[in-house]
Chain A
């Protein structure tokens, strides 16, 4: 069963929608801003690029950007992979809650996390930077790889053991190949996030460290040197493209059809002391790594002049109440949720269609790479690109609220694609064949076989997309948006003012944000569990 037998308009939509979205909201704005730098007055001038490549300062920055991202990715994998195993292969009480809670760091504004790190005595240093990168991206590995791991049939590995393979051998020759696409996907995303990380580098890297991202920001937003910014952006793009080609190789070479099982069946209770110890160590790491900074933050939210109390939460409703910048907390929460909902639906639509196209078209791996590209391009380049490219009807969107969820969706789409594609790829074609043989129409096959399986992956992806949008990443902070402040905006504003009340209120708002994130992911996961029966 392949696409050839499906109605051709279906394939056209699958390809056109993602390509159009990417073209209008990414390629066109980025080319426009690069054009301002490299085609001044209509003639190509590559001298900024040759100057930048020849500049030892720029070379050092580029090299540092690459190796800190590689190291951050490696560390995140080392910490995250065992946790993914522990949290998905063993039946643990509360494992689903933990899997939801690990997403929380992902939505927290970097300033807030950095201030928690500083309060813990982790001052600006390379180590602090790397640690923060692991903190933020732990969830990417645990959930992307864990999502796949949960559905691997344990009998495959058991069969290998039965045939005499050692535990290691069974893992490396049965489980690892099956997981490889998910690991590659997670690693690529972590690399891109840390490669373009901004707040963490600025606050926890300290003034002596700069990356391509912070340098592009400085050249564009401070110095208005678009020539240098364009040159740096191109260096950034080339590095990202190289990475995507490598991971595409790792990911797509083998389309393993796996017999996926419901997570409920693949998980089992821990049996030996070793297994319990393994789980314990991983939980301890998660608690210390993720829990401590979050605990500091929450403790500060409840810390008042007169002991533990709700004063900071109350202050959130009264501080600056007369000011135009004031929004009642419930309104900020509503703004955050509604932007995030729109962004998640956009991302699911575009990313979901793209995932189907990728799986069903032979050479669509390029589409996957293209949709991932926005993660590796500077937020300031995209934000300023929006500004100068989308400036004429029918696309004068520069000050429209819609631009915010669009920018958020750009970041979320790669997650949707990368969470759903491995699952889609692993659908056993025999299932479809069997359905067809039993007389199901192609549409029915899709609905009965593909959809139930992919719905679960889409639910995970949707939860992630929603969480990303809640934290309002990237380009959105460079957009002149009509004032409909979200929680992260409220937090930034409060942190920009001195005084115990402002700071306490900022911590209270952060606490609300992290609770929202945890609850929304828990709900999505819950919907997923209810669905498993149809597997």
Chain B
């Protein structure tokens, strides 16, 4: 008897679980005038529950968020399923992937007149004149420095990309591999923009000789090697974001009066994230409404503290932790998506040959 009970317990548990998991789905299929729009995005997407709830209440559109891996994986999933789309809207294509998204023709053109917030977005973020991909947020990838380290060692923080190759900053920098990491790629693009097609490999050869450390991902760089990260590493310079200094304050308890890290403003590359309505959606009107909503003041104002990036709209105020602790580069490096799309693989291969072999 005992034996049978032991054998049945997991079955009963699983049956209960099946019922519990299935329950919300049944609830959703009940007749309702609400339409559900599926938002495919990367795993770092975040927004306030309240903001989305307000949108649903106002419009009758429910939003189901489908995180689908990192930005590259999410985009590629959408491309591979374009005949039977897995969602209605895609958010999270950045300027390094934009050309692929446009070439694969996954987005439905939407009249810019229908996306009213766009008028408030600076021109240099509006990279798709065809009205398919709409800029939602941007954030600069920059070198962050551990202020305490430089104070303790009576060393001036580097100011420029060139400084990083100088002997006094030997063995101080950790970067991410552009082949596996999106900030890694953005930083590589910053150096290519600065030193040009003829000079960037020499620059990286100098960085290599100056002891640059390369790791595969942002987590290992920031929480492993970076001396102001959580791993108590030995590198006071790291490729991260202009929003890392406010994040380091915001996500600390108690919050410090000044940020322990700073931003080297000359080293930045602006990453811009886009959203668009997916071709093949059955809910064009509702999907368009969601994209438009992403450029509304309410959504835009919520972006900084949720995703730690900057809103695309220039007329939206920033939270205090950003205005106080974030240094924003006036002229971050930039590059046309077409140029990135054309060269990215070759650049990554050449970088690998220069730095890792």
Contact = CB atoms under 8 A, between A and B. Distances in A.
Given A477-B69, A496-B43, A498-B247, A305 B254 contact: yes
B220 interface: yes
A500 B251 contact: yes
Interface string B147-188: 000000000000000000000000000000101100000000
B80 A387 contact: yes
A495 B14 contact: no
A207 B177 contact: yes
A96 interface: no
B6 A319 contact: no
B251 A221 contact: no
B287 to A, nearest CB: 16
10 contacts: A114-B220, A206-B215, A323-B49, A344-B10, A388-B80, A462-B10, A480-B74, A483-B66, A500-B230, A504-B230
A118 B231 contact: yes
In the A-B complex, list the 8 residue pairs whose CB atoms are closest, starting with the nearest. Answer: A499-B251, A480-B68, A503-B230, A345-B14, A221-B73, A338-B17, A207-B177, A118-B224
A203 B216 contact: yes
Contacts of A227: none
Interface string B73-96: 110110111011011000000000
A479 B46 contact: no
Contacts of B231: 115, 118-119
B254 A482 contact: no
Contact of B253 (A214, A323, A462, A501): A501
Contacts of A480: 40, 66-69, 74, 77, 86-87
B48 interface: yes
A341 to B, nearest CB: 5
A319 B79 CA distance: 34
Contacts of A534: 3
B200 interface: no
Interface stretch (A148-156, A232-240, A263-271, A391-399): A391-399
A342 B17 contact: yes
Nearest to A214: B180
Contacts of B65: 324, 483
A499 B247 contact: yes
B191 interface: no
Nearest to A391: B84
A46 interface: no
B215 A207 contact: yes
Contacts of B229: 498
B251 A319 contact: yes
A345 B345 CA distance: 44
A300 B232 CA distance: 12
A224 interface: yes
Nearest to B220: A203
Nearest to A524: B10
Nearest to B65: A483
Interface in B327-356: 345, 356
Interface in A103-147: 111, 114-115, 118-119, 124
B19 to A, nearest CB: 10
A380 B86 CA distance: 17
A63 interface: no
Interface in B207-239: 214-220, 222-225, 229-233
Nearest to A319: B251
Nearest to B67: A483
A399 B86 contact: yes
A348 B217 CA distance: 36
Interface residues of B, number: 75
A531 interface: yes
A428 interface: no
A208 interface: yes
A119 B234 CA distance: 11
A497 B214 contact: no
A36 B83 CA distance: 13
Contacts of A479: 68
Nearest to B14: A345
B102 interface: no
A311 B64 CA distance: 32
Contact of A496 (B11, B44, B48): B44
A325 interface: yes
A455 B218 CA distance: 46
Given A324-B49, A341-B10, 18 more contacts: A118-B231, A118-B233, A202-B216, A202-B217, A218-B179, A221-B72, A222-B73, A305-B254, A322-B48, A322-B50, A323-B48, A338-B21, A341-B14, A342-B17, A455-B7, A481-B66, A500-B253, A503-B223
Given A115-B224, A498-B244, A531-B3, A323 B306 contact: yes
Given A399-B38, A480-B87, A498-B247, A218 B49 contact: no
B322 to A, nearest CB: 14
B10 A323 contact: no
Nearest to A33: B80
Interface in A520-535: 527, 530-531, 534
Contacts of A478: 68-69, 73, 77
Interface in B83-134: 83-84, 86-87, 100
B248 A499 contact: yes
A126 B87 CA distance: 41
A452 interface: yes
Contacts of A338: 17, 20-21
B252 interface: yes
A203 to B, nearest CB: 6
A387 B64 contact: no
B45 interface: yes
A325 B46 contact: yes
A482 B64 contact: yes
Identify which of B6, B11, B79, B220 gathers the most chain A CB atoms within 10 Å of its CB.
Answer: B220
B32 interface: no
A202 B77 CA distance: 22
Contacts of A345: 10-11, 14
Interface in A455-508: 455, 459, 462, 477-484, 489, 492-493, 495-504
A401 B68 contact: no
Interface string B249-265: 01111100000000000
A324 B251 contact: no
A472 B18 CA distance: 18
Contacts of B248: 498-499
Contact of A202 (B18, B45, B86, B180): B180
Contact of A530 (B6, B17, B44, B47): B6
A176 B77 CA distance: 48
B214 A207 contact: yes
Contact of B13 (A207, A315, A319, A341): A341
Given A202-B180, A342-B17, A452-B3, A320 B10 contact: no
A527 B251 contact: no
Given A315-B253, A322-B48, A388-B81, A224 B43 contact: no
A356 interface: no
B251 A111 contact: no
Contacts of A326: 49
B223 A115 contact: yes
B26 interface: no
A288 interface: no
Contacts of B267: none
A68 interface: no
Contact of B79 (A118, A224, A493): A224
A92 interface: no
A220 interface: yes
Interface string A29-68: 0000000100000000000000000000000000000000
Contacts of A387: 77, 80-81, 86
B6 A531 contact: yes
Contacts of A195: none
Contacts of B220: 114-115, 118, 124, 203
